[in-house]
């Protein structure tokens, strides 16, 4: 597949860019932060996104979705990186919807129209520690006569505080650290024994610590195959990581463009600081890296869309590369802006904070380099 | 040339007749299967494995000679050049199919030359009809090997300050000066050379691109020994060299524009070196073979991460090269991509050799002895240091990016 966007995808990218810049720019996130908003996102914005069909982009048409695919959704993810827009889009429409589309039984897929309609919010509960490790699952699901009893704790569940349904990975067999014997369950966030504690992150976005104490679910709560949760979760995480990579690309491009503009305007010693070669070369190096980051993101999104056999590796390549480039871009942005770059008044702080959270979510650059090596046979 | 061995499916003079891309692909596949010698169906192990052609060409094997002849007969050494000058006359789509089919069977490029990559495209774009008729067909057939007379002892990164002068003597010029870093000048048949034709004009406006035979009286070359132990570059001395005026490409004092155009080609070529010399085995495969694995994991974890990072970066670079082509085809090109690719590609190639040293340890640094391939790897490692210098240093590429793309300055 050619590494370019088609006409429809380009139009979606442009309209998403325009819409978010107008309706949900960085100031919107600043406002949510300063007002300590209870949801951590704007319900009105979510309604507008729903009106445009965004929650259903990855959902088949028969369930009220647009079936527009990962390349299209990736353009929105990238645009959200440029504006740092907070919304349930990632947790619900990317992770939640993908899990249900990939594995849901008939009854569970009946939830998809509600996701398309923006009525149902989901969250994926994967990790039990601060560093991503999808096989380190101690949480248990003990078989009972009518279903399962869940016990354990999940950490840093993205948008877990506002979700109605949690997708939870628990151990139905085997010991912690093994990828075998894991199963995904759909759990009502309001069920008895579920305790959700909101954690506001450095990027002013939300995650949650979720405790499960003797939470009873029936057999129909199993998503996908019993003991087959790891493989399913892996696919969902690949999708999540590809969209995080797209968001990181948006972040990196935005801070870079803002920095270049500053280099063209800021004067010291009677000249613009962009006339200094010491800064020019660093900016040019960053430009070269950004060009390459763009290529790996597009290939990863295309790979997911086509179910390419090498798609897992393409995603790890993208997450590893873009995380590194986004680190460089945000660090250089602050350094090249000088003192003003350290102030909360300028937006750069929001970008560097989000960049690091997005990198750490579901594996940072080193995690994905290791995974790349593993998938490459070394 | 033995035409009975290679039976073109169509008359080469009339181009390719295929109603569809699939049909063309089938024809190409069949022709390659019966015309590409077995020994030419394996990746190039090294830059020196290439066939460079020329009057004094010494073929590495009979197969290499036959492969060149057969491809040249069809014009497929220069697939997209016009039929009337001996090229293949293929459109972009067909050329891509040919490239893909050659890659599929690991067919070696039949001919590598500065004629194909640099001066040929420049003559086709800027040259007179007479120059095209004179020079293009021998380039396609690999009969003439070209070298590039650009840099001078006092004009490296600041190429436009070159001092080699050409005095107007009516129907010809008399050229005096010295060129340096002339690749393979001692093996080349003709030189394309930048000379100063208007000494009092601003430096960019007094330069012309001229062509002359290296056997012309007054031309002499001296190889330069590099840290790699090899001498791929020469000094070239020009003492009262007569150059006919009809050998000026694109008009007197118009040389700088063509020089810039050629530098773009050169950048793309050098930026791609990493890919061409990578051979069949990837860095990680070499590491696994040399160091071994424990439970599927390379025994040196820190080297493992460094190799993984390099392979990820290399992949990003290759995808970018691919994207640039796709964008150009879709009319979305940016045109300044060559600086990015040259910069990124050469830095990656240097890193690759440093990692190979890490993989092979002191074996990689043995200089003599059959057991150590007579220091081949050490020599290649040292040679790679020149990649980010030749064809415009990395720093020059960064200047180009910051000034022309980012508008800094």
Residue A258: count of CB within 10 angstroms of its CB? 17
Between residues B271 and B202, which one has the greater pLDDT? B202
> Catalytic site residues of B?
266
Q: How far is A1 from chain B, CA to nearest CA, in Å?
A: 10
Quote the distance between the C-alpha of residue B116 and its chain's center.
8
Q: Do B312 and A298 touch (CB under 8 A)?
A: no
Q: Do A275 and B409 touch (CB under 8 A)?
A: yes
The predicted pLDDT at position A106 comes to 84
Q: Do A321 and B313 touch (CB under 8 A)?
A: yes
Q: How far is B163 from chain A, CA to nearest CA, in Å?
A: 27
Say whether pLDDT at B209 is over 80. Answer: yes
Which region, left, alpha or beta, applies to residue B216 given φ > 0 means left and ψ of -120 to 50 means alpha?
beta
Q: Do A288 and B343 touch (CB under 8 A)?
A: yes
Which residue carries 């129209």 as its tokens? A113
pLDDT confidence of B272, banded at 50, 70, 90?
Answer: low
Residues 325-344 of A with CB under 8 A from B: none
Say whether pLDDT at B191 is over 60. Answer: yes
What dihedral angle (degrees, nearest 10) is formed by the CA atoms of A297, A300, A305, A307? 180
Q: With H, G, I as helix, E, B as strand and everything else as coil, classify residue A209.
A: strand
pLDDT confidence of B321, banded at 50, 70, 90?
Answer: very high
What average pLDDT does this structure show over B392-397?
A: 94
What average pLDDT does this structure show over A285-301?
A: 98
Report the chain A residue with the minimal C-alpha distance to residue B317: A292
Question: What is the DSSP secondary structure assignment for residue B41, as one 8-state letter?
Answer: S
B313 CB within 8 Å of a chain A CB: yes
Give the one of A3, A4, A369 whose C-beta lies nearest to B305's C-beta: A369
The predicted pLDDT at position B333 comes to 66
Q: Which residues 6+ apart lie within 8 Å of A67 measured at CB?
A: A57, A58, A59, A60, A61
Percent of chain B with pLDDT over 90: 78
Q: How far is B188 from chain A, CA to nearest CA, in Å?
A: 35
C-beta of residue A73 within 8 angstroms of C-beta of residue A243? yes
In residues, how long is chain B?
409
Say whether pLDDT at A273 is over 80. Answer: yes
CB < 8 Å to B401, chain A:
284, 287-288
The predicted pLDDT at position B2 comes to 40
Between residues B92 and B316, which one has the greater pLDDT? B316
> Which of A112, A215, A102, A206 lies closest to A168 in space, CA to CA?
A215
Q: Do A260 and B406 touch (CB under 8 A)?
A: yes
Q: Do B340 and A299 touch (CB under 8 A)?
A: no
Q: With H, G, I as helix, E, B as strand and everything else as coil, classify residue B286.
A: helix
B265-279, B283-297, B357-371: the lowest-pLDDT one: B265-279
Mean pLDDT of the residues in chain A: 97
Give the one of A294, A321, A377 whose C-beta lies nearest to B312's C-beta: A321
pLDDT confidence of B9, banded at 50, 70, 90?
Answer: very low
A256-265, A280-289, B15-24, B297-306: the lowest-pLDDT one: B15-24
Q: With H, G, I as helix, E, B as strand and everything else as coil, classify residue B187.
A: helix
CB < 8 Å to A272, chain B:
408
What are the pLDDT digits (tens) for B145-181? 999 999 999 999 999 999 999 999 999 999 999 999 9
CA distance B247 to B212: 7
C-beta of residue B379 within 8 angstroms of C-beta of residue B230? yes
pLDDT confidence of B16, banded at 50, 70, 90?
Answer: low
Between residues B6 and B270, which one has the greater pLDDT? B270
B309 CB within 8 Å of a chain A CB: yes
B286 CB within 8 Å of a chain A CB: no
The predicted pLDDT at position B286 comes to 96
pLDDT confidence of B334, banded at 50, 70, 90?
Answer: low
Q: H helices then E strands: how many in chain A?
A: 12, 10
A292 CB within 8 Å of a chain B CB: yes
CA distance A10 to A347: 27
pTM assigned to the model = 0.89
CB < 8 Å to B343, chain A:
284-285, 288
What are the pLDDT digits (tens) for A231-247? 999 999 999 999 999 99
The predicted pLDDT at position B6 comes to 39
Say whether pLDDT at B10 is over 50. Answer: no
What are the pLDDT digits (tens) for A49-78? 999 999 999 999 999 999 999 999 999 999
What average pLDDT does this structure show over B390-403?
A: 94
pLDDT confidence of B7, banded at 50, 70, 90?
Answer: very low
What are the pLDDT digits (tens) for A143-182? 999 999 999 999 999 999 999 999 999 999 988 788 999 9
Q: With H, G, I as helix, E, B as strand and everything else as coil, classify residue B170.
A: coil
Q: Do B297 and A260 touch (CB under 8 A)?
A: no
The predicted pLDDT at position B281 comes to 81
A327-336, B332-341, B389-398: the lowest-pLDDT one: B332-341
A296 CB within 8 Å of a chain B CB: yes
CB < 8 Å to A288, chain B:
340, 343-344, 401
pLDDT confidence of B335, banded at 50, 70, 90?
Answer: low
Mean pLDDT of the residues in chain B: 90
Q: Do A3 and B316 touch (CB under 8 A)?
A: no
The predicted pLDDT at position A2 comes to 92
> Which of A169, A178, A177 lies closest to A139 in space, CA to CA?
A169
């Amino acid at each position: 597949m050619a590494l370019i966007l088609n006409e429809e995808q380009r139009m979606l990218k442009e309209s998403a860019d325009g819409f978010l810049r107008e309706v949900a720019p960085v100031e919107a996130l600043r406002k949510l932060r300063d007002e300590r908003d209870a949801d951590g996102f704007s319900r009105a914005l979510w309604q507008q996104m729903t009106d445009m069909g965004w929650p259903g982009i990855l959902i088949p048409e028969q369930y009220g979705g647009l079936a527009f695919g990962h390349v299209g959704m990736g353009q929105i993810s990238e645009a959200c990186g440029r504006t740092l827009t907070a919304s349930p889009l990632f947790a619900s429409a990317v992770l939640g919807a993908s899990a249900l589309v990939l594995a849901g039984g008939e009854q569970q897929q009946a939830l998809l129209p509600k996701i398309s309609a923006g009525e149902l919010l989901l969250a994926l509960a994967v990790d039990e520690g601060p560093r991503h490790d999808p096989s380190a699952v101690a949480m248990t699901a003990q078989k009972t006569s009518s279903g399962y009893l869940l016990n354990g704790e999940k950490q840093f569940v993205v948008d877990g505080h506002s979700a109605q349904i949690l997708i939870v990975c628990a151990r139905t067999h085997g010991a912690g650290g093994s990828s075998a014997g894991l199963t995904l369950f759909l759990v009502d966030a309001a069920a008895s024994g579920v305790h959700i504690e909101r954690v506001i992150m450095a990027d002013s976005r939300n995650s949650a610590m979720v405790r499960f104490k003797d939470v009873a679910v029936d057999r129909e709560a199993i998503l996908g195959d019993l003991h087959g949760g790891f493989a399913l979760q892996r696919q969902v995480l690949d999708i999540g990581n590809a969209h995080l990579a797209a968001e990181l690309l948006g972040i990196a491009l935005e801070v870079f463009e803002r920095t270049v503009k500053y280099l063209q305007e800021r004067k010291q010693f009677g000249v613009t600081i962009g006339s200094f070669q010491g800064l020019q070369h660093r900016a040019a190096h960053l430009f070269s890296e950004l060009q390459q980051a763009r290529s790996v993101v597009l290939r990863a999104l295309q790979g997911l869309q086509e179910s390419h056999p090498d798609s897992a590796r393409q995603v790890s390549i993208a997450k590893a590369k873009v995380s590194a480039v986004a680190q460089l871009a945000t660090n250089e942005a602050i350094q090249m802006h000088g003192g003003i770059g350290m102030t909360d008044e300028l937006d750069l702080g929001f970008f560097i904070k989000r960049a690091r959270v997005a990198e750490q979510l579901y594996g940072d650059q080193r995690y994905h380099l290791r995974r790349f090596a593993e998938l490459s046979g070394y | 040339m033995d035409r009975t061995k290679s039976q073109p499916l169509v008359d080469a003079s009339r181009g390719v007749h295929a109603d569809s891309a699939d049909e063309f692909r089938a024809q190409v596949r069949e022709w390659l299967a019966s015309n590409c010698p077995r020994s030419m169906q394996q990746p190039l192990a090294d830059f020196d494995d290439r066939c460079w052609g020329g009057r004094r060409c010494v073929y590495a094997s009979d197969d290499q000679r036959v492969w060149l002849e057969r491809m040249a007969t069809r014009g497929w050494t220069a697939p997209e050049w016009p039929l009337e000058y001996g090229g293949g006359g293929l459109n972009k789509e067909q050329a891509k199919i040919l490239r893909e089919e050659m890659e599929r069977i690991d067919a070696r490029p039949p001919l590598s030359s500065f004629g194909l990559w640099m001066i040929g495209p420049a003559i086709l774009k800027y040259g007179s009809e007479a120059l095209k008729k004179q020079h293009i067909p021998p380039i396609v057939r690999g009969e003439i090997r070209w070298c590039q007379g650009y840099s001078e002892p006092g004009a490296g990164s600041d190429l436009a300050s070159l001092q080699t002068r050409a005095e107007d003597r009516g129907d010809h010029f008399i050229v005096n000066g010295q060129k340096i870093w002339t690749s393979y000048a001692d093996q080349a048949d003709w030189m394309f050379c930048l000379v100063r034709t208007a000494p009092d004009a601003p430096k960019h406006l007094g330069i012309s691109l001229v062509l002359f035979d290296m056997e012309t009286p007054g031309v002499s070359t001296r190889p330069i020994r590099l840290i790699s132990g090899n001498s791929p570059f020469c000094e070239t001395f020009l003492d009262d060299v007569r150059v006919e005026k009809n050998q000026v490409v694109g008009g007197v004092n118009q040389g700088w524009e063509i020089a810039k155009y050629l530098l773009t080609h050169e950048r793309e070529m050098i930026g791609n070196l990493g890919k061409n010399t990578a051979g069949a085995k990837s860095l990680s495969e070499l590491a696994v073979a040399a160091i071994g694995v424990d439970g599927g994991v390379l025994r040196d974890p820190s080297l493992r991460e460094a190799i993984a990072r390099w392979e990820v970066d290399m992949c990003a670079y290759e995808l970018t090269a691919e994207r640039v082509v796709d964008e150009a085809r879709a009319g979305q090109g940016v045109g300044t991509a060559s600086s990015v690719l040259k910069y990124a590609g050469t830095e990656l190639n240097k890193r690759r050799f440093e990692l190979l040293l890490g993989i092979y340890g002191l074996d990689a640094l043995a200089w003599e002895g059959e057991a150590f391939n007579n220091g081949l790897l050490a020599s290649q490692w040292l040679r790679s240091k020149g990649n980010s210098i030749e064809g415009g240093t990395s720093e020059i590429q960064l200047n180009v990016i910051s000034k022309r793309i980012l508008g800094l300055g």
